[in-house]
Structure 1
Amino acid sequence: MKTTPLCLALAVLLSAAAAQAQTAGTWMLRGGVMNITPDVDSGNLSASSLPNTQIDSNGSTRPSGGITYMLDDHWALDVPIAVPFKHTLTGAGSIAGAGKIGETKALPITLLGQYRFGEAHAQFRPFVGAGLTYAKFFKERSTATLTAITGGNASTPTTLSLESKLGLTLQVGGTLALNERWFVEGMVAKTFVKTTGTLSTGQTIKVTLDPLTLSLGVGYRF
């Protein structure tokens, strides 16, 4: 079969395009949604308070994205990105029926090292990752319920703050190529992090958060 210059040029272009698929130097951008649900294990609020006074937190879903850079055909660096999450804090333990006692915004700042299985050009590539997350808490707000529980009043409401902390994150996920550029990516991650809440009354409470993170997004590879 005779090879024409046009066929040769097309073959070169196709091979060059294919070489962009998760090989060294590849950048991948994605956007989607992320849910973070804390697995709360609360300590007790320090004296003076009712015995077994604890807190809990709900999950939160926000728009998200991320940037991945391939160091070689298997190893990558990944930075998840998301809009700050808003979590409602509720009473637990002896004050489980108290309802909402506060809220906080949280921004997880994460850097992960990933290992991607399979060939660089495979349509589906599962991966595992590990790294560090800095859990930044800000704009904490308390409610009148917390003030009542801690013996305050309307003129001197009880306020709260949460200490920002660093924790370990483990990740598992996969990337499904739709074509040479576009892909779908999903992942599950577990972060091991603790924090300490401090009230304006001087009382403190230690809380293990250990959130579970789920994310799904569509990305572009270049």
Structure 2
Amino acid sequence: MKKILLPFVLILLISFNLKAQEKLETNDSYTKFQVRLRAIAVVPNESASIDVIGGDATITNDYVPELDLTYFFTENIAAELILGTTQHDVKAVSTVVGDIPLGDVRLLPPTLTLQYHFLGEQIKPYVGAGINYTLFYDENSGPIADKVTYDNALGFAFQLGFDFKITDKWFFNVDAKYLLLNTDVTVDATSALGATVDADVDINPFIAGVGIGYKLF
């Protein structure tokens, strides 16, 4: 009887071991690509040093959609690229000649962050840091300046957020970023002031977003 049961027990043990290994391998698998669509608020924390006329700068907030793509190197380590564009009204304030509206400008700030994702069943927090390169385009100089030029700028980005699982594929996302962003601005005000004015402007926007995400493959 023992000789009959022993092979049967061995077969069961081997089968159980194979199933356990298969389950372990399945747990090690993870989605490498995911995409999110967010609604974001971009809130500049601006300040400026303005030559000749002195004063400071104000930059309006903007609210836009934003798309991001995330690639996971491991279950915890990922890289995220965000794409979106914003438009802001700009004004020089408290100068020796008063407040000067400087029209508006569009920003295209592709941002790449390296993230660490904490594992969880329902909620997965993450933190990240990376770089940002902001392109300024479609400048409108406003009613006083002849021309306003912004230098494209490289900056740093810091990030935190979390994903909330809805289904195996879909999730809800909350995200916050802070960008260290500085640009040199040249205001050609020859017609109105008889001078060209340079300014060193810190934009440093806080970006808050909520959205929906999908695990691709």
Q: Partner amino acid for 2:200?
A: K
Residue matched to 1:114:
115
The yes-or-no answer on 1:213 pairing with 2:210 is: no
Q: Shift of residue 99 of structure 1?
A: 6.3
Cα gap change, 1:191 to 1:77, in 2 (>3 Å): same
Cα pair 2:102 2:148 within 8 Å, conserved: no
Bigger helix fraction:
2
The residue matched to 1:180 in structure 2 has which SS? coil
Q: Partner amino acid for 2:41?
A: N
Distance 2:106 2:97 in 1: 22
The yes-or-no answer on 1:133 pairing with 2:132 is: yes
Cα pair 1:65 1:217 within 8 Å, conserved: no
Residue matched to 2:167:
179
Residue matched to 1:194:
182
Q: Shift of residue 96 of structure 1?
A: 9.8
The residue matched to 1:77 in structure 2 has which SS? strand
Gap regions ≥5 residues in structure 2:
1-18, 191-195
Residue matched to 1:29:
35
Residue matched to 1:79:
81
Distance 1:77 1:132 in 2: 11
Q: Shift of residue 93 of structure 1?
A: 2.4
Larger Rg: 2
Q: CA RMSD in A?
A: 2.4
- 1:69-108 equivalence runs, <5 A: 69-82=71-84, 84-94=85-95, 98=99, 100-108=101-109
Gap regions ≥5 residues in structure 1:
1-10, 148-157
Per-residue displacement from partner, 1:59-85 (whole Å, max 9, x unpaired)? 111111211111101000101122x20
Distance 1:99 1:138 in 2: 20
Distance 1:96 1:211 in 2: 27
Q: Shift of residue 143 of structure 1?
A: 1.5
Cα pair 2:78 2:116 within 8 Å, conserved: yes
Q: Partner amino acid for 1:188?
A: A
Distance 1:36 1:175 in 2: 20
Cα pair 1:90 1:96 within 8 Å, conserved: no
Cα gap change, 1:159 to 1:94, in 2 (>3 Å): same
TM-score, structure 2 length as denominator?
0.79
Q: How many residues align?
A: 188
Return the match for 1:38 from 13, 37, 44.
44
Distance 1:20 1:175 in 2: 19
Per-residue displacement from partner, 1:23-60 (whole Å, max 9, x unpaired)? 2x52111112112111001112x22x3xx333210111
Percent same amino acid at aligned positions? Answer: 21
Q: Partner amino acid for 1:143?
A: G
Per-residue displacement from partner, 1:7-28 (whole Å, max 9, x unpaired)? xxxx9xxx79x8598x2x5211
